[in-house]
């Protein structure tokens, strides 16, 4: 959807509310209290409906990322439009300029949109062939006072560093990715097989073929009901169909977005950013991605 289409579709708040009712209720709003269809929209407050059966009123934006927000709905929907159209995301400062809100409001809007991106009720189960790998998110080693590169344990790259580990699983058949932040027990400690297994089992069925590199912690896979294939990256990166190129390509996209757009991400909110890039990757060919994301704004577990 381009800007002209957006302006035509969401010209005013009434059009946005009508669209949201279609997405959330299938075009016919139902009472949030009793489920009755005998509801009437208030003329003075377009977001609010009154129920003729239980005599309660309710907002069609209850239990969504828009609840308790004083920001104009047109700004919210325009923020979603900009967020999805940015291939690697959009920073809080840029959204502040584009939408005309404060930085605090822009940051909160982006945070809520990322939460909605992970609001799928049912995750797809990977059953055929998957690739699993880890990457490490954090700053690069810096030069010291004398221009020497810092080679202390905390500045290492990859496994054993103080960076934050992220484990990803990608399904070759459906081209879907699942990634989670996996914090080690202590700084500098490598991920254990159990930690890797916990993330793999979230989306992968037993008996699936799992391709990984030679990291020792992956040894647990063959003992846990998976057909495990290892790729020795010290010798070659691909041997026919045995490779981890797909998940490594996703890591490349993730890091270009994190470092190029957001620059610095705290561990506290890192999973939200991981969810964003998983959503983008999994819906890269979905022409109805705007409708999908708006539908996922409805969830009981959204926090304000």
Residues 245 and 151 grouped into a single domain: yes
Q: What is the predicted pLDDT for the residue at 231?
A: 86
160 assigned to some structural domain: yes
133 and 255 together in one domain:
yes
Domain-embedded: residue 177: yes
Establish if 136 belongs to a structural domain: yes
Total of domains in the chain: 2
Question: Which tokens belong to 145?
Answer: 């006072």
What's the pLDDT at 238? Answer: 63
Nearest Cα residue to 297 out of 75, 111, 124: 111
* pLDDT (0 to 100) of residue 88: 84
Among 62, 80, 106, give the residue marking a domain's end: 62
pLDDT value for 139: 64
Q: Check whether residue 54 and residue 172 sit in a common domain.
A: no
Q: Is residue 54 domain-shared with residue 177, that is, in the same domain?
A: no
- The sign of the CA dihedral 261, 262, 267, 268 is negative
How far apart (Å, rounded) are the C-alpha atoms in residues 11 and 235? 58
Confidence (pLDDT) at 259 = 87
Q: Pick the closest to residue 101 from 84, 83, 78, 117 (CA basis).
A: 78
Q: Comparing C-alpha atoms, which of 32, 31, 209 is closest to residue 132?
A: 209
Domain boundary among 10, 45, 62: 62
Same domain, 50 and 178: no
pLDDT at 239: 66
Provide the whole-model pTM: 0.85
Same domain (yes/no): 153, 49? no
The CATH number that applies at residue 43 is 2.20.25
Domain assignment present for residue 290? The answer is no
CATH number for the domain including 252? Answer: 3.30.420.10
Are residues 233 and 141 both part of a single domain? yes
Angle, vertex CA 241, rays to CA 238 and CA 244, nearest 5 = 55
Residues 34 and 146 in one domain: no
Say if residue 47 is in the same domain as residue 138.
no
Please report whether residue 51 resides in a domain: yes
Q: Mean pLDDT per segment of 10 residues, for the chain of length 304 residues?
A: 88 93 91 90 90 91 90 95 90 94 95 89 77 85 48 56 88 92 75 91 92 90 90 70 89 90 87 94 93 86 42
- Whether residue 135 sits in one domain with residue 50: no
What lies within 8 Å, CB to CB, of 226 at 6+ separation is: 200, 204, 206, 207, 208, 209, 210
99 belongs to a structural domain: no
User: What is the C-alpha to C-alpha distance for residues 290 and 84, in angstroms, rounded to an integer?
Assistant: 7
Torsion angle in degrees (nearest 10) through CA of 24, 26, 29, 34 = -80
Cross-strand bridge partners of residue 46 = none
Which pLDDT score, from 0 to 100, does residue 44 have? 87
Q: Containing domain of residue 1, as a range?
A: 1-62
| Whether 227 contacts 203, CB under 8 Å | no
57 and 169, same domain (yes or no)? no
Q: Which tokens in the block code for residue 215?
A: 């990291």
100 occurs within a structural domain: no
Question: Considering the domain boundaries, does residue 301 fall inside one?
Answer: no
């Amino acid at each position: 959807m381009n800007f002209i289409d957006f302006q035509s579709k969401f010209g005013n708040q009434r059009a946005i509310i009508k669209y949201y009712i279609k997405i959330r209720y299938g075009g016919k709003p139902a009472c949030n209290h009793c489920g009755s269809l005998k509801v009437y929209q208030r003329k003075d407050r377009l977001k609010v409906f009154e129920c003729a059966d239980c005599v309660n009123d309710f907002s069609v934006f209850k239990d969504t990322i828009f609840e308790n927000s004083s920001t104009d709905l047109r700004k919210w929907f325009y923020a979603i439009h900009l967020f999805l159209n940015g291939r690697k995301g959009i920073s809080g400062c840029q959204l502040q300029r584009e939408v005309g809100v404060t930085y605090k409001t822009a940051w909160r809007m982006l945070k809520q949109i990322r939460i909605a991106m992970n609001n799928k009720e049912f995750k797809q189960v990977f059953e055929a062939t998957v690739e699993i790998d880890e990457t490490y998110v954090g700053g690069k080693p810096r030069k010291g006072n004398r221009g020497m590169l810092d080679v202390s344990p905390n500045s290492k790259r990859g496994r054993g560093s103080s960076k934050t580990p992220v484990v990803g699983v990608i399904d070759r058949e459906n081209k879907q990715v699942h990634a989670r932040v996996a914090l080690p027990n202590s700084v500098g400690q490598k991920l254990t097989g159990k930690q890797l297994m916990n993330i793999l089992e979230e989306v992968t069925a037993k008996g699936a073929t799992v391709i990984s590199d030679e990291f020792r912690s992956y040894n647990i896979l063959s003992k846990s009901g998976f057909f495990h294939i290892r790729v020795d990256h010290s010798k070659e990166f691909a041997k026919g169909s045995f490779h981890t190129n797909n998940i490594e390509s996703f890591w490349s996209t993730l890091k270009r977005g994190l470092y190029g757009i957001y620059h610095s991400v705290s561990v506290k909110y890192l999973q939200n950013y991981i969810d964003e890039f998983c959503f983008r990757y999994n819906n890269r060919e979905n022409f109805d991605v705007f409708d999908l994301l708006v539908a996922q704004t409805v969830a009981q577990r959204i926090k304000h």
